[in-house]
Structure 1
Amino acid sequence: MSSASHDIRDRTVPRGDPDIPAYDLVVVGSGIAGLTAATSAAEFGLAVLLLEKTERIGGSSAMSGGWFAFTGTDEQAEAAIADSAELFLADLLEAGQHRNDRALLETYLRHQHKTYRWLKAHGVVFDEVEISSGQSAPRSHHTAIKDVLAGLHAAFTAAGGHIQLEHRATHLRRDCSGRITGVTVESADGQHQITARAGVALATGGFSRSTELLSTFAPEQLTAIPYGGKGNTGDGLRMAWRLGAGLADMSCVSGTFGSHPDTGEDFHELLTAYYMGAIIVNKLGRRFVDESRDYKSLGRAVLTQPGALGFEIFDAKVRAQSRRGVALKDIDTLEDLGHVHRADTLDELATQAGIDPATLTDTVSRYNCAVTGAAPDDLGRTSLCHGVGQLQPIDTPPYFAYPAKSLLTSTYCGLTINAHGQVLDIDGEVIDGLYALGEVTGGFHGASYITGTSLGKGAVFGRVVAQHIAAHSRPPNSP
């Protein structure tokens, strides 16, 4: 298909009922997945409508820390980071406990570098590369995510795309053959129909804001802090599930450990000081988990503790690693908010934080002995993060305590898809004309999640879906 062979304006002319607007592609949801798919499809010459049920673009992506997981990048080369697609795949499978759909992982790895280049060509700047949850090498690339979303939105409209805010898709429309042909939408003006000639792409995020769906699939997560876009109520999941779509990883829902109990929606408050050298204790002052594990596993573990609360305990050496404005490492801002306790002694710190002083002192002493090799670690910890990084004793005042709970940013499960992003029914057959990408899908992460693969898969599969639709679309009136 030639993207320049016809005028986009001609493609927005309705076919059939003149009262029903028609587009080639309707994308539902405007996070990184939806914006990437919509922008790419518009740049391929398709007539695209982007629907967003809230009053602004971005969804959960706009509330994220802005980390993308890529390998083989310029930033890794400049930092002399040794990494490979093979190591990345091994990490994905290990974190997912080999429950992942390998075809989706291989698709990600095959397209991730081109997606990285495409993002940079659209003005995205990656200012830092770090190692984090589930990674054996630093491959989390940080960027100002709201700038990324704004840039893609501008590129989308420049390419002729249309966006409708405060328009909620409620039902998928099918023809007599079962093919998806459009959506039913609700807005302030009432209910109306929209035709999608080439297909509908669901990028509606997870269901972290749906008490009903959490009660059904992950009732234990109701004690975590609900987070993510306020539109994350499972709309896309419900629409496709109603038509017989398959589901994957529904038993793997977990929050991420590291958010203060008073975390709000305006600031992505998530601290992973445990990957910088901190330990995690409960109210009694006892450690309860190997802190080097992925933070989804840590999020599950803290739910079993008194008050579902843990404390990240660290010293001045870890505090010195803070990076203001960089999510996961920004201790400076957390102190400004009054969310971090500071004291010259562990006893004083424990008293401030409401932790048993004698037990905390003993816990730190036992940990420090293990770090020096004088005794085995009580919980088997041998590294900072996923086998990487040398442990350091907690022995340099002042000392710090950050109270934290599990934050349910997204649900990382959902509709079954194939490597093209096409939705599959419960028998594994393609539902013609229906695509899904981003956090509404399952199968990619398996049991757990690696930092940066949420935004990463949204962008990668946004490109994959757009390319597939463009390759299988025809200009109006073509044979």
Structure 2
Amino acid sequence: MISSASLSSRSTVIVGGGLAGLSAAIEAARCGAAVTVLDKEVRLGGNSAKASSGMNAAPTQAQRNLSIADSLELFQQDTLAAGKHKNDPKLVQILATQAADALAFIESFGVTLDQVSQCGGHSAPRTHRETEVDGKPKAVGWDIMKALQTYIATLAPSTSTSDSSYATANQVPNTIKVITDARVTELLGDRGIRVTGLQFDHASKCHLMHADSVILATGGYAADTNALIQQYAPRYAKLATTNGPWATGDGVKLGMEFGAKAQDLGQVQIHPTGFVDPKDVGAAVKILAPESLRAYGALLIDTQTSSRFVNELSTRDAVSTAMLNLSSSNKKSDSGTLETPPPILMLMNRFVVESYGEAAIGFYVKRGLVQKFESLKKVAEAYLLDALKLEREVVSVEVPDRFGKSHIPVHFTGDEVIYVALVTPVRHYTMGGLRISAEAQAMTEAHEPIANLFVCGEAASGLDGWNRLAGNSLLGSVVFGRIAGRSSCH
């Protein structure tokens, strides 16, 4: 059975309730649109709610408070370098110039991002996250999404001025209606020319929803193992992922079917550190070991040699490649399917733990993902390592470093308490997606914009090039989500 709802006021329908989608919704509502958000899950948040390292911005007041020297130019250079200069320079410029405003946008909802760390690939500390309060862990992605959802709830159209049916679209300007458990199946309109609405399944019915604009904010496809990954990036099919089961590239598929240009679908970011649960080593989905742990000084040790093997603060692709090459089968092939290497040890001392947040580390300890040892010698005994070699490797880290590390956040000693996690490379993010303009508009193969169709967040491509810089995911979602929201009103 198909029902149909037509909108009488300027309307924007957003597909996806992660950070990009909610940023777009808020901006569109502030521009006067009647906004409807559709999400296929029963609750909003997506992978944005799982983000743990923080959000980039420069220059900011938090940086100035900490006497951190940074600039827009340096931020752009780092983003382009991480992306192998395959990024769209215009999108990178927009990201950098609107970063500080994006941070202020998030903080306006009561989330204070005043702690700053220097993650891999950055020339200066610029990844912002929350400071722990009263010993309680602060999950930056979760807190941001909770704050935005709380705000959006205040913009819900009243039942007296809107259709109470969840199958119809919002018609009230400056408000946001949210429909969960709604899977979009098709875009409506003239293929490759103009979108006029969409079709979605909800409550065991198929519904048509007409709209002035549609924004695709459905995230990436790092969990779409048997479809987009297998088709475009089979090399990574055997690796575990940090993504939830919802990350199946729905928006990318919808856009491609409607004639939008997709690009770089083979570019999948392998994050170096997914936690290996000793109770379930082969789990297909792993919890992310945050980038910030290495930003604060965590070291990576090859259990086969008791040695360091990489600059822990290099870009994600460089660190992951070094880890994957610890497997002899991966060394022999540049094109075959990658095998998961033997687990690598990530070592942290009290400085790392306290800098990241003792309560947050305590969560990982409770889950059995992090273990505590009285000394490096005890670590060596537990993992059958060469104790003398391990101590020499860990204690002697200095600049100049043989792996090119130019920033040493902390120095280890042999007799201090050590926190240890087993980690492995994991599918984390997809740089491929739908090509967008500077206004976040979807483009055709002929480089023409598709009227009324916009894309933001991980569903879009071009910003990150062939490798995303750590901390740019949350930022890109806010910057281009807001742009998409504003553009959809015009």
TM-score under structure 2 length normalisation:
0.82
Task: Report the residue type matching 1:282 in the other structure.
Answer: D
In structure 2, the residue matched to 1:61 is 48
Question: Does the alignment pair 1:418 with 2:441?
Answer: no
In structure 2, the residue matched to 1:151 is 147
In structure 1, the residue matched to 2:302 is 282
Matches within 5 A, 1:328-367: 330-344=360-374, 346=376, 348-353=378-383, 355=384, 357-358=385-386, 361-362=388-389, 364-365=391-392
| More off after superposition, 117-126 vs 167-176 | 117-126
| More off after superposition, 362-371 vs 409-418 | 362-371
Pick from 347, 358, 362 the counterpart of residue 314 of structure 1: 347
In structure 1, the residue matched to 2:424 is 405
Q: Does the C-alpha gap of structure 1 residues 393 and 237 become closer, same or farther in structure 2, counting only changes over 3 Å?
A: same
Q: Does the C-alpha gap of structure 1 residues 271 and 361 become closer, same or farther in structure 2, counting only changes over 3 Å?
A: farther
CA displacement, residues 363-404 of structure 1 (integer Å, 9 cap, x when unaligned): 55256556387xx72xx2332xxxx33673553434443210
CA displacement, residues 155-178 of structure 1 (integer Å, 9 cap, x when unaligned): 334332111000011111113883
Tell me if structure 2 keeps the 8 A contact 1:344–1:399.
Answer: yes
Tell me if structure 2 keeps the 8 A contact 1:27–1:201.
Answer: yes
Q: CA deviation at 1:122?
A: 2.8
Matches within 5 A, 1:68-217: 68-143=55-130, 144-159=140-155, 160-175=175-190, 178-197=193-212, 199-211=213-225, 212-217=227-232
Q: CA deviation at 1:468?
A: 1.9
The SS at the match of 1:255 is strand
Inter-partner Cα distance in structure 2 for 1:272 and 1:146: 16
Tell me if structure 1 keeps the 8 A contact 2:346–2:421.
Answer: yes
Percent identical residues: 26
Q: CA deviation at 1:449?
A: 1.9
CA displacement, residues 196-216 of structure 1 (integer Å, 9 cap, x when unaligned): 11x111000001121121112
CA displacement, residues 399-435 of structure 1 (integer Å, 9 cap, x when unaligned): 4432101232321321111110001112221122111
Q: Does the C-alpha gap of structure 1 residues 266 and 166 become closer, same or farther in structure 2, counting only changes over 3 Å?
A: farther
Q: Does the C-alpha gap of structure 1 residues 217 and 246 become closer, same or farther in structure 2, counting only changes over 3 Å?
A: same
Q: CA deviation at 1:153?
A: 2.5
Inter-partner Cα distance in structure 1 for 2:129 and 2:352: 20
| More off after superposition, 402-411 vs 113-122 | 113-122
Task: Report the residue type matching 2:460 in the other structure.
Answer: T
| More off after superposition, 333-342 vs 65-74 | 333-342
Inter-partner Cα distance in structure 2 for 1:223 and 1:217: 14
Tell me if structure 2 keeps the 8 A contact 1:130–1:140.
Answer: yes
In structure 2, the residue matched to 1:4 is none
Tell me if structure 1 keeps the 8 A contact 2:191–2:259.
Answer: no
In structure 2, the residue matched to 1:298 is 319
Q: Does the C-alpha gap of structure 1 residues 423 and 361 become closer, same or farther in structure 2, counting only changes over 3 Å?
A: farther
In structure 2, the residue matched to 1:323 is 356
Inter-partner Cα distance in structure 1 for 2:214 and 2:104: 26
Q: Does the C-alpha gap of structure 1 residues 441 and 279 become closer, same or farther in structure 2, counting only changes over 3 Å?
A: same
Q: CA deviation at 1:442?
A: 1.2
Q: CA deviation at 1:446?
A: 1.2
In structure 2, the residue matched to 1:6 is none
Inter-partner Cα distance in structure 2 for 1:367 and 1:361: 10
TM-score under structure 1 length normalisation:
0.83
Inter-partner Cα distance in structure 1 for 2:347 and 2:274: 16
Inter-partner Cα distance in structure 2 for 1:342 and 1:151: 34
Inter-partner Cα distance in structure 2 for 1:152 and 1:97: 33
In structure 2, the residue matched to 1:38 is 25
Inter-partner Cα distance in structure 1 for 2:68 and 2:192: 52
Inter-partner Cα distance in structure 2 for 1:64 and 1:455: 8
Instruction: Report the RMSD for the aligned CA atoms in angstroms.
Output: 2.8
Q: Which runs of 4+ in 1 moved over 6 A?
A: 263-267
Q: Mark the runs of 5 or more structure 2 residues left unpaired by the alignment.
A: 131-139, 156-174, 328-339
| More off after superposition, 431-440 vs 105-114 | 105-114
Inter-partner Cα distance in structure 2 for 1:227 and 1:313: 17
